[in-house]
Amino acid sequence: MDNIAILCSGGDVSGMNPALKHFVEYSLKKDLIPYFIYDGYEGLINNDIKKATYKDVAGIINRGGTIIRSARSKRFMHKKYRDIAKKNLDTLNIDKLIVLGGDGSFTGLHIFFKETGIKFCAIPATIDNDITGTDYCLGVDSALNIIKSSIDSIRDTASSFRRAFVIETMGRDCGYLALVSALTSGAELCLIPEIKYNLKYYEKDFTEQIKNGRKYFIAIVSEGIKQSSLEIANWFEETIGIESRVSVLGHIQRGGNPSIYDRLMAYKFVNYAIDALLDKKEGCMVSYCKSKFCYKSLNDVVNTIHHLDKELLSFLD
């Protein structure tokens, strides 16, 4: 029986625990011995690697986060520590590796692969949904559902007090969460890094809406825009003439009960990743494009700019 290991790197997402559960189940089904690497690449360097069993994953499918924890490893950027990591894998005869993570995690994995030839398959797992080569990353649906619930709740108090609420989502330099949340919540304003904006464009329309009876505004902004959420709120007060509040959703977007969709996607991502390694498709990422799973070379994924779907962007016009 061959040994296979899995680790989580970078920001955690809801959906990682369902992925870990199925990793153990499907590995054993395929006559592989599963191992957990704790604390991401840090655990790989520290040799915090343990054999995983059914007992380890019992009752975790409904939990957010990751039971094997995650980390951002500065040490893994240096070759001497990557050499230690490879030695730890070799000592345990682990020749297959699955990594759940985002762009930074995949960049490190790509370097590790070029140096060592480790057989790996990557699973895109980031609520930012900013990985080139895939339409969907694990954890996005759960994050969107949390944002949806937050916006719906904020709308109640916004309408009760005649206020504008500026709601800030995560996403780094990618506006996917803000864009989809704005479209599906009926927000009056959406500001994302991918589209240049000028607040003057909205002044006449918004002031007219107030004159015609509008009682509140919902503005969804991505954390990566050029202005702070507070500046947008001040604009509402000083220019549009409506009392304003800011709500930065922050890290609640990463946690919580994984959605049904993310649980199912976790199942499928893991299946495709393990099958890839068994079929000797090393050095790839499991991709979900146009409602179908496929494989993309990690060489074509890292260090490339991700672009939002043009159709989604057109809906803001």
The residue annotated as part of the active site, out of 12, 39, 128, 130, is 128
Cα torsion for 139, 35, 134, 249, to the nearest 10°? 20
Among all chains, which residue has been given the structure tokens 């061959």? 2
3-state secondary structure 110-168: HHHHHHHCCEEEEEEECCCCCCCCCCCCECHHHHHHHHHHHHHHHHHHHHHHCCEEEEE
Query: What residues have CB less than 8 Å from 230, skipping those under 6 apart?
Result: 166, 246
Cα 154 from Cα 161, distance rounded (Å): 11
Long-range residue pairs from 304-309, CB within 8 A, at least 24 positions apart, any chain: 304/132, 304/133, 305/132, 306/103, 306/130, 306/131, 306/132, 306/174, 307/194, 308/174, 308/175, 308/176, 308/179, 308/192, 308/194, 309/135
Q: Find, among 151, 132, 135, the residue nearest to 143 by Cα.
A: 151
Looking at residue 191, its amino acid is: L
Query: What residues have CB less than 8 Å from 200, skipping those under 6 apart?
Result: none
Cα 220 from Cα 168, distance rounded (Å): 6
Q: What three-state secondary structure class fits 27?
A: helix
**Catalytic-residue membership of 103:** no
Query: Which residues share a beta bridge with 284?
Result: 121, 297
Cα 315 from Cα 317, distance rounded (Å): 5
Residues serving a catalytic function are 128
